[in-house]
Structure 1
Amino acid sequence: MPFKKLHSDLRESLERLEIEVPTSFQSKSIPVIKSGTNVFCNAPKGQGKTTTIVLTTLQKLKCEADGHAPRAVILVENKERALELYDLFLTYTKYNSLRVYVGYEQLHIDVQKSEIFEGIDILISTPKTMNKLFLLNGVSTSQIKILSIDDADFLIQKSDYNAIMSITQSIRKCQYVLYSENLHPKLKRFEDYFMERSKIVQA
């Protein structure tokens, strides 16, 4: 069972939230993501994709703060989704030292730069905001270990697609995990750019 092999902090959080049994998608995806490979994760709504993002991100960072630059990035479609995911992360990080930060277009970029500079572990952002931060030297990509994309179907839109291409060209090396309901041909094309040697997990 995937949950039994997770960090003790995560197992305690799952117990507190009364989540005992992984979904079939989580049983398939968590071990593959933990292996460190790039992964396309495809599953319909209700299969626990968002919880999988939280669990695998925290597992990768060993549930503890370290340094000042973000070590995990989660890209989402918009402000509403960013804030939802931020709240979910706080549920799992309330008893450890990890620092989670959320950024989006409506928040002034200089405010984001100064707050990120104080030190964060996990950055939740939209592709356009993340790209803008990078271009303005507002975020370092040197320590990123894992970059996940939540409900990646929105990347089919040209502006977000271009932003993700720009971001990934700025990252030296990290694990990429892309979550979507279906593997659209335009998403599969990322295999030629940053999703090299990726595996596909389908529920």
Structure 2
Amino acid sequence: MSFKKILPVLKETIDHLGFETTTPLQKKVLSTIKSGANVFGTGPDGSGKSTAIILSVIQKLKGEAFGDGPRAIVLVKDKAEVLALKEQFDVFTKRTDLRVYCIYDEYKIDAQREDIYIGTDILISTVKRLNKLYFLNSIHLADVQLICIDDAEFLIRQNTYNDVLRLSESVDKCQYAVFADKFDSRLERFENSFMFNAYRFKV
């Protein structure tokens, strides 16, 4: 998928930001994610991984708010990464009515429960806080269409693989896109658990 084959509202934002073409990694993964397939994407800092997630999520949700429960979830390492990615999402969702909400461990969980109840389309979250809210029946996952993991190496360092596995078991039909600086063999466990027939792209 080139920048010419995306939602008009997203194309307007990209043009405004001065992006002329996709990075090599984005060129490989965007059309595959758009097709509905699971994806492993690996590349160094600056290869466009986070932007690929943002574009894919907005494209998947057609740039429109709908319903109350989240339809896309992006998992990241910690609060700092949650907030940094939220800033990037805000740039690309500015011309849409998509609702983006952050959840992380250092914030009052009752306040997060109330905010989520109001309605959201995209959740950017740490793994443990998302699990906690789900098992408190505070997040409805039935509408989730796409789960992305940014800089997935943190799952190995934090030993949160089982938390992600439990989440995947709670979602009926869902597409997954996992991005990392380099592929770690321990991430192959995802293929056996929920990332069936995933495509691998490396730059």
Does TM, scored on the shorter chain, surpass 0.5?
Answer: yes
**Which secondary structure does the structure 2 equivalent of 1:73 belong to?**
strand
**TM-score scaled to structure 1, two decimals?**
0.97
Task: Give the CA deviation at 1:137.
Answer: 0.5
Instruction: Give the residue type in structure 2 aligned to 1:189.
Output: R
**TM-score scaled to structure 2, two decimals?**
0.97
1:1-203 map, 5 Å:
2-157=2-157, 159-203=159-203
Instruction: Give the residue type in structure 2 aligned to 1:53.
Output: I
Measure, in 1, the Cα distance between the counterparts of 2:106 and 2:61.
28
**Which secondary structure does the structure 2 equivalent of 1:84 belong to?**
helix
1:8-46 per-position Cα deviation (integer Å, ceiling 9, x unaligned): 111111111111111111111111111101111111111
What is the root-mean-square deviation in Å for CA atoms of aligned residues?
A: 1.0
**Which secondary structure does the structure 2 equivalent of 1:113 belong to?**
helix
Percent of aligned positions with the same letter in both sequences? 42
Could you list the runs of 5+ residues in structure 1 that have no partner in the other structure? none
Measure, in 1, the Cα distance between the counterparts of 2:9 and 2:190.
33
Task: Give the CA deviation at 1:157.
Answer: 2.8
Instruction: Give the residue type in structure 2 aligned to 1:49.
Output: K
Instruction: Give the residue type in structure 2 aligned to 1:35.
Output: S
**Which secondary structure does the structure 1 equivalent of 2:200 belong to?**
strand
Structure 1 runs (4+) deviating above 2 angstroms are: none
Could you list the runs of 5+ residues in structure 2 that have no partner in the other structure? none
**Which secondary structure does the structure 2 equivalent of 1:44 belong to?**
coil
Instruction: Give the residue type in structure 2 aligned to 1:138.
Output: S
Task: Give the CA deviation at 1:182.
Answer: 1.3
